[in-house]
A and B are shown apart, each in its own frame.
Chain A
Amino acid sequence: MAAKRTSHMTRNLIIAVLPLLAALICLGIGRYSLDVRETVKILFSGLTGYEPDPTGYTVIFNVRLPRILLAILVGAGLSCAGAAFQGLFSNPLATPDTLGVASGASFGAVLGLLMHGNLIMVQILALIFGVLSCIITYSISRRNEKSSIVMIVLAGMVISAVFEALVSLMKYVADPEEELPTITYWLMGSMSRSTYNNLIMGAPFIIAGILLIFALRWRLNIMSLNEDEASSLGMNIQIMRLIFIAASSMITASCVSMCGQVGWVGLLIPHIARMIGGNNNRSVIPMSIGLGAFFMIIMDTFARAATAAEIPISILTAIVGAPVFIILLRKTGGAWS
């Protein structure tokens, strides 16, 4: 028992430290490359009085740091939201776009791009339409003051389809010389637009959502039981479900608004977390947050530094994610079941 607990603690410690370590190393990777020691010196130059090379300072603080922070937020957020949706719908294959949130948010963002709005505008529109699609989905699914999981999922599919069609429509009417490439590229996802201003807009939603889900992680186990069972364990499931949906939608919409659609993370990471630490959401949630952040830092560093041109991140997450997922599936036979 004692040995088991210690090994659990070591494991948790590793997962907590992993993203930080990856962040430090990846801050130094790129065309202007720095070793870890130099990176640390520059990072803490404000405190220690160390005077770094100005180029290095600019690269770290103005270019790479906001980008890595965004990667951390998006990775942690989407993984956490994915795990929450999977628990909520007792469906291991549910993803952050189940409720049509991602499609709704994409539509909002594309609308913003088409109106030549600035990034703030794009973000606000994405957020509005993301939350809107979630509200529509939820209200369609409500009958007799109750909403069953099946109804929610079906309504989500319909709303997703509608917003995807609307996005296609926008692409169709967009100017093929200028707007269309921007929209297409944006939809494939990229962290390159990250600035501190953008971060300030989106980060609070993501952080609030993560904290909420983290605080309620044990309750998520109960939500994954059937409705009457969950009720009989003394939970107000309608309210609890609404809280989880709101938190996860907020996260998803903010992520989409800041970096486009990044697929796979919300599915891949929670499953890896389950395979490592079992199905109890008390461990799945924190582990998803840590692993998600780590995964996204690595992916984004690849996206910006592997080739001279930037590779869209959703292409990378799919190409890397799918095989890893298949290997894990074959090896463990799906440890969640």
Chain B
Amino acid sequence: MIFRVENGCFGYKEKQILKKISFTVGNGEVLSVLGSNGVGKTTLLKCMMGLLKWNSGHSYVDDQEISQMKHKDFWQKIAYVPQAKGAAFGYSALDMVTLGRSAHLGTFAQPGKEDRKAAEEAMEEIGITYLRDKLCTEMSGGELQMVLIARALTISPSMLVLDEPESNLDFKNQLIILETIQKLSRNRGISAIVNTHYPEHALKISDKALLLNQDGTNVFGNADAVINVENMRHSFSVQVHINQFSVDGRDYRSVVPLHLV
């Protein structure tokens, strides 16, 4: 599936938030969206999925404008993983993951054996079978985030949209989430659009990057090209040093913030 946004603009009455956003995400590609707090990353995700309406510009799935698509068809292709926030009711992990089957079921249908199996498989795939009966309200942020990713997988989507999936998580859980995204894109061709606060993470997992600047401009391109010292300074007003090194024959890059500019 190819997902494309052309000239997306969005703003409320007086304030223009997003200006002329254009990008393309191909099959199995990972796009990272970077930008400082409040620059409109979450708004961008909502707009491109039609949860908010572009003031001008359009989103396309395989060259079809998304407002022309049936609600259910669209949400069978694209799975949204929101930021993990506490829910009002404590559904068990299995129940929560099963909810992902919604777009595949008729309005009055109840999930059956197959849906349950799909949910169990999704949980197994990302290694959270042990959470099965745990209540969502009693989980840690990382556990809930994994449950939400599993829920997204039961949709069998072509693309995942994740809103800061690794914020508020510890080292290990961050790595688990990042590797899960990478694995899904490599092994199953599921593309992903990920909002993140960490340029380092973007470099680690993404093919492409979209950098939203505070002055309303944006930069889109290959991740390696977009995430450089110059652009980081412009977008975040932070002088960084990008350090390249290899351990056991594998290349790594770290982005170290030096000082404010």
User: A residues engaging B (CB < 8 A)?
Assistant: 87, 90-92, 215-219, 221-222, 224-226, 228-229, 231-236, 274, 278-280, 282, 335-337
Contact = CB atoms under 8 A, between A and B. Distances in A.
Interface stretch (B68-76, B176-184, B199-207): B68-76
A221 B108 contact: no
A90 B76 CA distance: 25
A282 B116 CA distance: 14
Q: Helix, strand, loop or mixed for chain B's interface?
A: mixed
Q: Helix, strand, loop or mixed for chain A's interface?
A: loop
Interface residues of B, number: 31
Nearest to A214: B108
Given A216-B108, A219-B107, A221-B95, A234 B89 contact: no
B102 A233 contact: yes
Contacts of A282: 110
A216 to B, nearest CB: 7
Given A226-B85, A279-B90, 9 more contacts: A92-B88, A228-B46, A231-B51, A233-B99, A234-B76, A234-B102, A234-B103, A278-B95, A279-B95
B88 A90 contact: yes
A233 B100 contact: yes
Contacts of A221: 89, 91, 95, 99
A89 to B, nearest CB: 9
B111 interface: yes
Nearest to B109: A218
Contacts, number: 79
B49 interface: yes
B78 to A, nearest CB: 8
Contacts of A235: 102
A91 B99 contact: no
A90 B89 CA distance: 7
B237 to A, nearest CB: 30
B92 interface: yes
Interface string B79-90: 110100101111
Given A228-B80, A232-B80, A235-B102, A218 B89 contact: no
Interface string B114-125: 000000000000
Contacts of A278: 91-92, 95
B22 interface: no
B106 to A, nearest CB: 11
Interface string B45-79: 01001010000000000000000000110011011
